[in-house]
Structure 1
């Protein structure tokens, strides 16, 4: 058994060849057409192999080769479903074959994407095998189930520097994820420089640190991700979650509020895109974002627009979609956007319904949830939350009826800003476990995250866009916090997104246990959950 994640569909021992020393040394040998892939593979391996990764000019006879080739021999055909994040009419062919033989490791596919996926499998084989051990001769092959395999991070609430984003991109690539969704705007901050309105990013913290991505940095991040076959999807969250935009443009009027709501709850008034000045300001923002974005998708938000009438919400979401399409991109939005109507070209990100919120029904149930009591939650607030989110119970049906696609991000399992359960928390990380994660979610084990079955929602294959985990940043203070919530849970997300099925826990936990070394060598903090037998 290997410790590769996602677990390859086919894995057999090879006969007639000997084992290889994991220590190498190793060199990259690539088809000239795969030079960008070779550069990416070298960069991904460097933190782990160090001097055991030979330079290109090393004599060919030295070391063992990791060979990258465009070769269809013995490479399986898989049925990949969902939306191609690179904008292709059909999902990319990412199927690959890998052989560990007498001279090294052969990584092959019909496409550059598939070769990179094979090479990340090779990287995991090398990193999870002790350097003083032998790598057995073997044959592996695999192909993905879902075309869109994503991770969302939240620089709006906890800024992540460009170098830190690169760490996340590398991690995504190593686990065969191919989308990084950046939640760039929210009430707490606006994190992308736009030529149309420099005041959006005119704020710095007390230390004078710049807390946004310049246009050039955003372009560079996209290029870095693209070399690793990861597509960046920016999110400009509207018409709600707009306090940062309102700070820059305080003259914009509030959207009309439902009868009886004005003044009852504290919220930032959403934007009204039927207002001419608001429409012009938002159009300029989206024109800039679309022009700066190399990928085909721009996320327009559409969630939790508290304090807007249904009529204004519908008009505003429709206009946000229209603007993104006018500027040459395809809109993605949270599931609430379905209430503005859905067509076959629409992608709605499914994240919540009332049952998965696990809110108490009685005062006694609330008293048994200390994580909720500690936040000051009352049954009155619980009732208000249930009423506000009640329409979410029909959002999936709306999307299916309209012929749209659903990007699966259920809060119950794929919201990684969830606290770890006390029963899996090691004593030396108890403070982190208490601090990190949204306090209204029930704390859960790593096994819980790994138990998610994407078919459990009953969504037809032809209407699934893909799978995406999210990690919102309200409780984060930096990259270490982000990766502590992300790792080890990202592994099972990557596995189910690639294979389409939940891993068998007793087997999976022994594989993920061997990945702590990979994270340590990359300088990434992780949570040493006690339901995993770490090595």
Structure 2
């Protein structure tokens, strides 16, 4: 595997003509206590692929991992040096060591990503690498509410995110079409709200349905496992439970949460008019939900959604109008802001930070809120100028459910075209921000909305290799050149092949990746 195929590209890479480190039955892995997790991970992954024991030891040929907070490296940064006797990874912290170990694995042939030995030659080339991330938020949102992903698939995606040095998994757990997390106090959220009787197929023309029930949820032990598995790979899992819109599934389970009409779990896509009511009972219900979630998710950030909340039901609701009057609010936008501020105070009181989509700006932004800027960059600009932290994820560059070309072969083509090159070219920090304002940009994420991704195979097709391009935009600080990136990506695709990722080929979808006859939308 050529050294130039490293993805994301490191800040500094020097390849020498000296002999590298051959991995043999005598090779050991040495690690200090702070690097023990990375050592265990590397021993498991390389041991499976090479068949080598890679036992602990500090003598002879070895891979050595250690944390050195005095190394001069930035947070999550590392140095990797390989010669004939030793491969040394030094990290500023445990995360840096882990990312250095990820780079070390990429120096080996693609077979290093297989689960059993298929190769007999394992030599790390002699290199010197110094590297660190540009942003502290390098994320991907996975929507498991519209189409449920089994736990095994979430764990597989976590490994793929770690390979790409991402550090945030934003897990979209609830929406109109399903509720995916066990809440012991409210069992109907999984008994009723976790499945729908059928799903809309396609996105245009007369609505068609598959007449096939769909559902699933994660138990609290499943969530604990996912969170721990991610943490071992230095990925934070940020949960999202949507309020006050995108809540039809919860209302179907507990009708008292809505504005009176009995509902079923949503089976159509798009913005649905049904929203939560603004009663004290509803606020208490969701406080109780978040009480359980905070026990499961140690993340500093908790997402409450706040997006696409239609106001029609509130305009016609006597109780909503009474709340507007009682709280001295100006209108329904103010009512939404009041609702979000309630949970901002709740989360702040528990040492957490509220995260929400940029509609939470409407009616006034809650004091502790962090904004996901998705409707372009304007929300992020406004929030940063007001002194709030921002994660950039505008639709035109960050929505991986969008079509990948104009070809009619693209499956269920929705949105505007978002090519691999488009993702690679994006600049996460808006040029309108001053240097001081830009400090509020924590980073960026891509969003994987799954209305039209009804299987893990489809998720693979839509996410990869665009996620590989995105990973470089949030990790690498140097100027990007797509022509330089493409040869490295070609080598990287060999790794994805070895893992078994069913990505979209660069030349277009394979016959079985198409969905002929199912309409999309612009």
Instruction: Give me the TM-score of the superposition, normalised by structure 2.
Output: 0.80
Matched, 1:186 2:183: no
Match of 1:197 among 175, 186, 191: 186
* Pair 475,210 (structure 1): closer, same or farther in 2 beyond 3 Å: closer
> Aligned residue for 1:123?
105
Residues 54-89 of structure 1, C-alpha deviations (whole Å, 9 max, x = no match): 25279966xx5322112468x5534xxxxxxxxxxx
Q: Distance in 2 between matches of 1:59 and 1:94?
A: 24
> Aligned residue for 1:365?
none
CA shift for structure 1 position 111: 1.1
> Aligned residue for 2:425?
451
> Aligned residue for 1:376?
none
> Aligned residue for 1:250?
255
CA shift for structure 1 position 215: 0.5
Matched, 1:230 2:207: no
Match of 1:14 among 9, 13, 16: 16
> Aligned residue for 1:525?
502
Residues 103-162 of structure 1, C-alpha deviations (whole Å, 9 max, x = no match): 242111131111001001111111459965854311000111111111110111111111
User: What secondary structure sits across from 1:299 in the alignment?
Assistant: strand
Q: Distance in 1 between matches of 2:185 and 2:30?
A: 46
* Pair 335,347 (structure 1): closer, same or farther in 2 beyond 3 Å: same
> Aligned residue for 1:325?
348
Matched, 1:400 2:400: no
Match of 2:163 among 170, 174, 177: 174
User: What secondary structure sits across from 2:13 in the alignment?
Assistant: strand
Q: Distance in 2 between matches of 1:456 and 1:26?
A: 48
> Aligned residue for 1:96?
78
> Aligned residue for 1:156?
145
User: What secondary structure sits across from 1:395 in the alignment?
Assistant: helix
Matched, 1:299 2:322: no
Q: Distance in 2 between matches of 1:252 and 1:21?
A: 63
> Aligned residue for 1:77?
73
CA shift for structure 1 position 505: 0.4
User: What does residue range 334-345 of structure 1 map to in structure 2 within 5 Å?
Assistant: 334-342=357-365, 345=368
> Aligned residue for 1:442?
416
Residues 442-501 of structure 1, C-alpha deviations (whole Å, 9 max, x = no match): 123211111111234433322112111111111011211111111101111111111246
Q: Distance in 2 between matches of 1:480 and 1:60?
A: 45
Instruction: Give me the TM-score of the superposition, normalised by structure 1.
Output: 0.78
> Aligned residue for 2:470?
493
Q: Distance in 2 between matches of 1:129 and 1:215?
A: 35
Q: Distance in 2 between matches of 1:24 and 1:338?
A: 59
> Aligned residue for 1:356?
none
* Pair 103,217 (structure 1): closer, same or farther in 2 beyond 3 Å: same
Do the aligned residues in 1 keep the contact of 2:344 with 2:367 (CA within 8 Å)? no
User: What secondary structure sits across from 1:494 in the alignment?
Assistant: helix
Match of 1:509 among 469, 480, 486: 486
> Aligned residue for 2:55?
56
Gap runs ≥5 in structure 2: 113-118, 198-211, 261-269, 315-331, 510-522
Q: Distance in 2 between matches of 1:272 and 1:209?
A: 27
CA shift for structure 1 position 514: 0.9
Do the aligned residues in 2 keep the contact of 1:44 with 1:170 (CA within 8 Å)? no
User: What secondary structure sits across from 1:434 in the alignment?
Assistant: coil
* Pair 146,59 (structure 1): closer, same or farther in 2 beyond 3 Å: closer
Q: Distance in 2 between matches of 1:419 and 1:23?
A: 46
> Aligned residue for 1:269?
274
User: What secondary structure sits across from 2:107 in the alignment?
Assistant: helix
Match of 1:312 among 301, 325, 335: 335
Q: Distance in 2 between matches of 1:266 and 1:480?
A: 26
Q: Distance in 1 between matches of 2:340 and 2:494?
A: 45
Q: Distance in 1 between matches of 2:304 and 2:217?
A: 19
Q: Distance in 1 between matches of 2:58 and 2:213?
A: 49
CA shift for structure 1 position 19: 3.1
Gap runs ≥5 in structure 1: 79-92, 256-264, 354-392, 424-429
Residues 416-459 of structure 1, C-alpha deviations (whole Å, 9 max, x = no match): 11111046xxxxxx75x223x5x1x1123211111111234433
> Aligned residue for 2:329?
none
CA shift for structure 1 position 329: 2.0
Matched, 1:241 2:262: no
Do the aligned residues in 1 keep the contact of 2:30 with 2:57 (CA within 8 Å)? no
* Pair 180,396 (structure 1): closer, same or farther in 2 beyond 3 Å: closer
User: What secondary structure sits across from 1:240 in the alignment?
Assistant: coil
Q: How many residues align?
A: 454
User: What secondary structure sits across from 2:242 in the alignment?
Assistant: strand
Q: Distance in 2 between matches of 1:500 and 1:352?
A: 25
* Pair 304,22 (structure 1): closer, same or farther in 2 beyond 3 Å: farther
Q: Distance in 2 between matches of 1:129 and 1:506?
A: 26
> Aligned residue for 1:30?
31
Q: Distance in 2 between matches of 1:71 and 1:304?
A: 46
